[in-house]
Amino acid sequence: MSTPDPADTFRQEARDLLESLEQVLLDLEQTPHDRELVDSAFRSLHTLKGSGAMFGFDEVADFVHEFETAFDRVRKGLASVSPELIAVALSARDHVGNLVEEPERHVAEGAPILGALHDIVGEREDVEPVGSPAASTHRSQIWHTRFRLPDDALVLGTNPLLLLDELRELGECNIRASAEDVPPLEEIDPQVCYVTWEVTFATEVEREAIEDVFMFLRDDMMLKIEPLEPHAGQATDASLHDGQAAPSERGSQESSGGGRPSRESGRRGEPTARNAKGGDSLRVPAERLDELMDRVGELVIAQARLSQITGASDDLELKNVAEEVERLSSGLRDITMGIRMVPIGTLFGRFRRLVYDLSQELGKEIEFLASGEKTELDKTVIEQLADPLVHLIRNAVDHGLEDPERRQQAGKDRCGKVRLAAVHSGAEVAISISDDGAGLDAERIRAKAESAGLVTPDAALSDHELYQFIFHPGFSTASEVTAVSGRGVGMDAVKRTIEALRGSIELTSKPGEGTTVTLRLPLTLAIIDGMLVRVGEGRYSLPLLAVEECVELPESEIAEAQTRNFLNLRGSLVPFLRLRELFGASGDPDPHQKVIVVSAGEFRVGLVVDQIIGNSQTVIKPLSKLHATLGTFSGATILGDGSVALILDIAHLVSFGRGFEERLRDERMRREA
């Protein structure tokens, strides 16, 4: 197995830190007086600087050092958080990201950013904290610090020399290394640092600044910080260089983690509680997860074959083994799918920055609201979902929300709202993007469709049908092309991507109140629990989570030779589709046909089949390019006997039945008129 490249490891960790920093900065814009957010931003910068220097990314370390120094003034109260500071800090964050990926190419771009940053926070170090009275003098304090690193510090990449360099930056210091805890040579663990350091230095910083040097190690290390009384004249220098002075009457304060005042328990490389527990998470390349899912899929197919063979056998021992294999494969499938599930909040976070940038570019006041961040979705779906959501959010901001003055004239709040929400809905995840803007202009859409030759002037279309033209390639109602939108190349790409993920897209709008776009996506694209049915001589599978109930088709409906009808279920009318007619199945129908009631979102429809064969784990295989345009089917699966069964696209069938229902209602209304 090849060893991961340390540079790639740093880049991945840096991306995570930069993403966290971006979210903190955006939060800080909303709550500029939140001290915890300021400290969190400083910690991210501090870690980036240390890691960059450790892995040889000197350009990153140098720039972040200046970035951190400027932000430290905010942390000390020497400068205040302002919209200008957040804007420049976000630019600095982007520059660090560029340096992480291509250091040589982007180095020169950092100077103007740092210049703007220093102009905002000020460069004079003698400025008193914002809101505090001026002090006439600065009192120097002598500190004595004694520390020893955790047992696993070297293994995790901590460089003690970098820590000592940071202490030197705080003031003139004397450093002494103690080897009293080093065991005999034959007992030394090369991965454990046995050296204890004692540092005495004079500085004007507070105790917190010293503790911050060890902020990522303090929970597991031995750390003692003792303030010493300053002496006048030469006595101060003597105390500093001798490294010996009596603690002041204030006493010494000790910072240590886990109740470990000494390190005897770790002298001989004994495992600590942290070492024994191990990490909370493990990074695994995405291609390995994909390969694992492929192997599990093959196992599920083999297990289905075994179950079919067992069903034709009277061997009880074989049946027991088959049941055990089925239980194990089912558990392995669930675990593997769980590994692939990722909280959608990892995707939502990046859109806060998008909305922030758009608000600055378009001069609009926008509040971005997100909910359902913990909703989980297959990582493959999330990876392909980023671009469609970007298009939808940009459209909501540019086309949906009015300018602040127009909103005020309409009696609305000057600040518009864009909401991004995710929620589980049966076998799907529903993601909605809504705004409280002016809504869609149906007349303008129709005029654009007529001018483009997409509809005739005398065609009777509902607002819902008119809205669908927005997804037509090249269609745009924008009066002018801007850097944000207006070229008509976004919404059709959104629809193609969502349909490629076996999802659906819905659009609703109310004039003057806003627009909502809802994306409905399957939880996974790999393996599902399916219900196998027979229609004529063909077998089909449908997602079990979409099934609400199964009933027999009433005798009164059997003789009706219609492609669509209504079923009365406990006083509720449910439209149903006869799949025999829809698929053109040959032969006579079964005398006792079944109706499977399925749902997609708020709508449901019944599917009439000849026979319900049973439930099975369904491995989803994509259709060939020749059959990819068949909207009724979302994929195929291999059955236990090696034959292929098509997987029904429930969302498409529900929409199909709903469309028939709406057209019938419109025809009835026209006849009555």
Rg over CA atoms, the chain: 33
Query: Could you give the CA distance from residue 648 to residue 585 in angstroms, rounded to a whole number?
Result: 15
Write the single-letter amino acid at 615. Answer: N
Query: Could you give the CA distance from residue 616 to residue 260 in angstroms, rounded to a whole number?
Result: 55
Determine the distance from the C-alpha atom of residue 667 to the mean position of all C-alpha atoms in its chain, rounded to a whole number.
Answer: 46
Residues 6+ apart with CB under 8 A from 607: 533, 542, 576, 577, 579, 595, 596, 597, 598, 648, 653
Reported as a single tens digit per residue, the pLDDT across 529-543 is 789 999 988 899 988
Contacts 24+ apart (CB under 8 A), 471-478: 471/495, 471/505, 475/448, 475/449, 476/448, 477/399, 477/441, 477/444, 477/445, 477/448, 478/398, 478/399
Going 360 to 361 to 366 to 371, the CA torsion angle's sign is negative
Query: Could you give the CA distance from residue 478 to residue 234 in angstroms, rounded to a whole number?
Result: 77
Query: Could you give the CA distance from residue 155 to residue 178 in angstroms, rounded to a whole number?
Result: 21
Quick count: other Cβ atoms within 10 Å of Cβ 584?
7
Q: Within 13 Å and on the Cβ side, how many CA atoms surround 210?
A: 26
Superfamily of domain 286-342: Histidine kinase  CheA-like, homodimeric domain (1.10.287.560)
SS3 276: helix
- Each residue of 566-577: b (16+ CB within 10 Å) or e? ebebeeeebbbb
Query: Could you give the CA distance from residue 329 to residue 323 in angstroms, rounded to a whole number?
Result: 10
Q: For residue 621, list its beta bridge partners.
A: 636
pTM here is 0.64
Degrees, nearest 5: CA angle 647-648-654: 160
Q: In the prediction, which pLDDT does 347 show?
A: 83
Query: Which regions in the chain score pLDDT beneath 50?
Result: 1, 124-138, 231-279, 481, 483, 486-489, 563
Segments making up each domain of the chain, as ranges: 6-121, 141-268, 286-342, 344-522, 527-672
Query: Could you give the CA distance from residue 93 to residue 80 in angstroms, rounded to a whole number?
Result: 19
Query: Could you give the CA distance from residue 419 to residue 666 in angstroms, rounded to a whole number?
Result: 33
Write the single-letter amino acid at 154. Answer: L
Quick count: other Cβ atoms within 10 Å of Cβ 622?
13
**Concatenated DSSP letters for 143-163?**
EEEEEE--TTTTTTT--HHHH
Q: In the prediction, which pLDDT does 416 show?
A: 92
Instruction: Estimate the share of the chain in helix, then strand, then coil, as percent rounded to the nearest 5.
Output: 45, 20, 35
- Residue 577 phi, psi (nearest 5): -115, 135
Query: Could you give the CA distance from residue 596 to residue 55 in angstroms, rounded to a whole number?
Result: 60
Lookup: tokens for 62: 């140098």
Q: In the prediction, which pLDDT does 271 show?
A: 39
Q: Which of 501, 539, 493 is nearest to 634 (CA)?
A: 501
Query: Could you give the CA distance from residue 434 to residue 372 in angstroms, rounded to a whole number?
Result: 14
527-672 carries CATH number 2.30.30.40: yes
Architecture of domain 141-268: 2-Layer Sandwich (3.30)
User: How is the beta sheet containing 514-522 ordered, strand by strand?
Assistant: 366-371, 416-425, 428-435, 514-522, 504-510
Lookup: tokens for 638: 């291999």
Q: Do domains 6-121 and 286-342 have the same CATH topology?
A: no
Q: Return the CATH number of 344-522, one of 3.30.950.10, 3.90.580.10, 3.30.565.10, 3.90.420.10.
A: 3.30.565.10
Contacts 24+ apart (CB under 8 A), 253-256: 253/207, 253/224, 253/225, 253/226, 253/227, 254/223, 254/224, 254/225, 255/211, 255/214, 255/218, 255/223, 255/224, 255/225, 256/221, 256/222, 256/223, 256/224
Name the DSSP letter for residue 621: B
Q: Return the CATH number of 6-121, one of 1.20.210.10, 3.20.80.10, 1.20.120.160, 2.60.40.1120.
A: 1.20.120.160
SS3 558: helix
